[in-house]
Amino acid sequence: MPSFFERAGWGKIEKQKESKTQWKYELQLMSDEKKPAFSRHLEAGFLAGQFELLYGTVAEATMEKKRNGIKLHIHIDPF
């Protein structure tokens, strides 16, 4: 996914933590952005959709704004 995010112009994404039902990613803002210039709901929804396809269950993405980026939390229903 990191290469897709960069090619799509969405920024640099990096996995921070992983557990059985939760993943945490950090999406770094573009170098010329001081604060998010637009909503990142598209990126969050894309990640949730990818996890739904991978695990065949419902996934949800939440966002947490940080100083130089956004933390994306992906949660899936336990199997």
Whether the pLDDT of residue 79 is over 80: the answer is no
pLDDT at residue number 62: 94
For the stretch 2-50, pLDDT in tens is 899 888 888 899 999 999 999 999 998 766 666 555 678 889 999 999 9
Q: What is the 3-state secondary structure (H, E, C) of the chain?
A: CHHHHHHHCCCEEEEEEECCCEEEEEEECCCCCCCCCCCCHHHHHHHHHHHHHHHCCCEEEEEEEECCEEEEEEEECCC
pLDDT at residue number 74: 96
3 vs 78, which has greater pLDDT? 3
Decide: pTM greater than 0.85: no
